[in-house]
Amino acid sequence: IPGLPDPHVGKVRQSYDLDAERRLMVATDRLSAFDLNLTTVPFKGQVLTELSRFWFEGTRHICPNHLIAVPDPNVTVCRRLDMLPVEVVVRGYLAGSTNTSLLTMYKGGARRLYGQAFPDGMRDNQRLPAPVITPTTKGDHGAHDEPLGPDDVARLGLVDAATWDRTREHALALFAFGQARARERGLILVDTKYEFGVDPDGTVVLADEVHTPDSSRYWDGATYDARFERGEAPDAFDKDMVRRWVRARCDP
Ligand code: C5P
């Protein structure tokens, strides 16, 4: 948008400052995976915007968020925040594109990173004893997200200890709420990624998108148990099908 300051053109979203307090975020219809822009899907931006709005409005009792208004199905007006330099990934299952590497890491590195969160003998797609936070750096400007241990975030000075403690509390409470609501609708919220910022008062505020199929894995709750017992992949309703499609073509 010409004339609006501090434009940020992300893989899926574009955002701009409106004034000292507010930012404008446009969710496009672009579909990206593995840092590649693949195609566009009609109404995808609208789905992301409306789903995030649903979760922002439904989780205000858990923590404050950046939402001010949705003036158009693809557009969010939100509060300007000082964004934390980490992606806050919460996992309820041993799953996903990092599945094998997590298991491999678990034999060495992941235990160091995440302590007892991944007990011995776990299988792919198995539910974890309790949800864990596996933060990463933000791979902006072409860099990849690097895994961080939960204690690394404060130890490396990325986020101050009190802010990080509050962020972790919020992330786990949001995830528990999201899993419970998804379960009521026959879905398993497997994992998700949150982004938080801090406002001028130092309050930790939820931002970006919440529990969308771009930022989360969802499985069919009705078929999960039987498929897991048979060693079959869960029925997924998220971007994993796109990631599999790309991998099958790039990595035969
Ligand atoms: O790929 P991985 O298993 O690390 O992803 C964990 C969760 O975080 C998934 O739900 C994925 O959609 C989300 N994620 C994301 N953006 C990233 C990395 C992961 O939304 N940059």
CA 103–ligand 1 middle distance (angstroms):
16
Please say whether the beta carbons of 69 and 22 come within 8 A.
no
Backbone torsion region of residue 182, taken as left when φ is above 0, otherwise alpha when ψ lies between -120 and 50, otherwise beta: alpha
CA 35–ligand 1 middle distance (angstroms):
12
| CATH fit for domain 82-250, picks 3.40.50.720, 3.30.470.20, 3.40.1360.10, 3.30.1490.20 | 3.30.470.20
Average the pLDDT over 50-63 and give the result. 98
- Helices and strands (H, E) in the chain, number of each type: 7, 14
For residue 146, CA distances in Å to 131, 135, 153, 156 come to 20, 8, 12, 13
Considering only 47-51, 154-158, 173-177, 246-250, which range has the smallest mean pLDDT? 246-250
Question: What contacts 184, CB < 8 A, 6 or more positions away?
Answer: none
All structural domains of the chain with their residue ranges:
8-79, 82-250
CA distance linking residue 188 with residue 179, whole number of Å:
6
CA 83–ligand 1 middle distance (angstroms):
18
pLDDT at 34: 82
Phi, psi of 41 (to 5 degrees): -125, 120
Q: What is the ipTM of this complex?
A: 0.91
8-79 carries CATH number 3.40.1110.10: no
Average the pLDDT over 141-147 and give the result. 75
CA 165–ligand 1 middle distance (angstroms):
21
- Residue with CA closest to ligand 1 atom 4: 98
pLDDT at 107: 62
pLDDT at 130: 94
What pLDDT band is residue 2 in, cutting at 50, 70 and 90?
confident
pLDDT digit string, tens, across residues 80-113: 999 999 999 999 998 875 566 666 766 666 777 7
- Residue with CA closest to ligand 1 atom 1: 97
Q: Which residues line ligand 1 (CB under 6 A)?
A: 87, 89, 96-98, 145, 191-193, 215-217
